[in-house]
Amino acid sequence: AGALAAKLPAAADLGAAWKLGSPINEMDLTMNAELCKDVVLDAQMAERLSGAAGVQFEPVDGSSKHLMVQLITGERAQLTSDLTGYFEAMKTCPVDPKGANGAFLSVADVALPELGDQRQAVGIRAQENGTGPVWFVRAAQVRVGALIVAVGLTEILETPDQVPAISDSDFGTLVQAAVTKASA
């Protein structure tokens, strides 16, 4: 576990805007099999995609953001298959621009730099019952051999059309920093 933890980024690897957050716990590392309303992963796949090590960061400025990096280990071919299945399932999540009936406001691909052997990222906007703040979650998984680097960035937005403080390009830079550290 110590060798794996050494592959996690430190705040300094991510830039001056981030500081170490709360310690990671087992719930943080556990992949929820229910991705969204009516879309549930196979329980064994969710277990295999759960993190073996992780770290959380919060913004230095105290704004409503959260960043988590997890490392997932396993057999290369199985991870490849699981990651493909995860992203295919995520893209079937119900979307309703009004956020009705537990649907996401939107689910969209997020471009990543050329990293690892397999990569994909999505941006999800969700809102409780179509009112209140919007949770904007970008989730990226990059497989490097038998290791997946999973990066999740959450921003709380006041309205569905508010522009996030962190651009997709800057998110890609955070993902690249985490993959670089894990690959060293």
C-alpha–C-alpha distance, residues 7 and 149, integer Å: 10
Is 33:41 a contact under the CB 8 Å cutoff? yes
Residues facing residue 68 across a β-bridge:
56, 152
SS (H, E, C) the chain: CHHHHCCCCCHHHHCCCEEECCCCCHHHHCCCCEEECCEECCHHHHHHCCCCEEEEEEECCCCCEEEEEEEEECCHHHHHHHHHHHHHHHCCCCECCCCHHHCECEEEECCCCCCCCEEEEEEEEEEHHHCCCEEEEEEEEEEECCEEEEEEEEEEECCCCCCCCCCHHHHHHHHHHHHHHHHC
Residue 38: per-residue pLDDT? 87
Residue 128: per-residue pLDDT? 76
Which value, in Å, is the radius of gyration of the alpha carbons in the chain?
16
Cβ-proximal residues to 107 (8 Å cutoff; 6+ apart), any chain:
90, 91, 93, 95, 122, 123, 124
Residue 86: per-residue pLDDT? 93
Per-residue pLDDT tens listing for the chain (184 residues)? 688 999 999 999 999 999 999 999 999 999 999 998 889 999 999 999 999 999 999 999 999 999 999 999 999 999 999 999 998 998 899 998 887 777 889 999 999 999 999 999 999 999 877 778 999 999 999 999 999 999 999 999 998 889 999 999 999 999 999 999 999 8
Is 72:54 a contact under the CB 8 Å cutoff? no
Supply the pTM of this predicted model: 0.94
Residue 101: per-residue pLDDT? 76
Backbone phi, psi, residue 148, to 5°: -110, 130
Per-residue burial over 93-132, b = 16 or more CB atoms within 10 Å of its CB, e = otherwise? bebeeebeeebbbbbeebebeebbebbbbbbbbbbeeeee
Residue 1: per-residue pLDDT? 62
